Amino acid sequence: MKLYYSPGACSLADHIVLEWIGAPYEAIKVAREDRKNPEFLAINPAGAVPALEHDGWVLTQNAAILNYLADLFPESGLGGDGSARSRAEINKWLAFANSDVHPAFKPIFGSTAYLESPELIERSKQSARALVRGLFERANAHLQGRDWLTERRSIADPYLYVTYRWARVTGVDLDGLDHLAAYASRIESDPAVQKALKDEGLT
């Protein structure tokens, strides 16, 4: 298996899951500025990470990749306990991270540059930070008394963790979100997570 990733991007979730699974894989770095190069567009026409190559077949879209890995390695338990309900709970939180939290960062990462006005761009970023804060307040409330988003560690956890990392460096107000902070520290102190971070050149 080959995972195409950019350091610290949402592909870090897949990188962590591969480490948790423990099966052999190769992590191939795609620098941010190389994501639209013809070589990488031939792998993912969207020019986005992650992409997973397995037996000559390429899968894109993070939620699909994470679910595929969970299905390929059911013994990892990362896709739940085998019941429809546990998988649905995991996919609920995966959707929260992938389709609510992740896109909320877009203005912070530059999607509103077309506005051209520095003042308007800054307002769009402030509004995005407030949106992310609101989403994290929900996750924080849910995490009270819980170690993981669902009954057990799953493919949803590293995705939320990755977005928390982004929040830390983009000025999102994380004050008082103590359950979320403890959860992120718990994930971060895991040796497998440390390895994925080190391999991506992150601290």
Ligand X SMILES: N[C@@H](CCC(=O)N[C@@H](CS)C(=O)NCC(=O)O)C(=O)O
Other C-beta atoms within 10 Å of 122: how many? Answer: 13
Retrieve residue 119's tokens.
């003042």
68 or 151: CB nearest ligand X? 68
Does position 111 interact with ligand X (CB under 6 A)? The reply is: no
Q: Where would I find the beta strands (DSSP E) of the chain?
A: 2-5, 26-29, 51-54, 57-60
Choose which of 3, 18, 21, 48 interacts with ligand X (CB under 6 A).
48
Helix (H, G, I), strand (E, B) or coil at 81: coil
Does position 35 interact with ligand X (CB under 6 A)? The reply is: yes
Choose which of 98, 124, 150, 154 interacts with ligand X (CB under 6 A).
98
Measure the CA–CA gap between 60 and 30, rounded to whole angstroms.
Answer: 14
Measure the CA–CA gap between 130 and 17, rounded to whole angstroms.
Answer: 29
CB of 149 to ligand X, least distance (A): 18
Does position 110 interact with ligand X (CB under 6 A)? The reply is: no
For helices 11-21 and 62-72, the axis angle rounded to 10 degrees is 10
CB of 5 to ligand X, least distance (A): 9
Does position 9 interact with ligand X (CB under 6 A)? The reply is: yes
Q: With contacts defined by CB under 6 A, name the span among 42-50, 75-83, 152-160, 181-189 that binds ligand X.
A: 42-50
Q: With contacts defined by CB under 6 A, name the span among 47-55, 66-74, 128-136, 181-189 that binds ligand X.
A: 47-55
**How many helices (H) and strands (E) are present in the chain, helices listed first?**
9, 4
Amino acid letter, 11: S
Kindly list the residues in this chain that would bind ligand X in the complex (CB under 6 A). 9-10, 35, 47-49, 61-62, 98
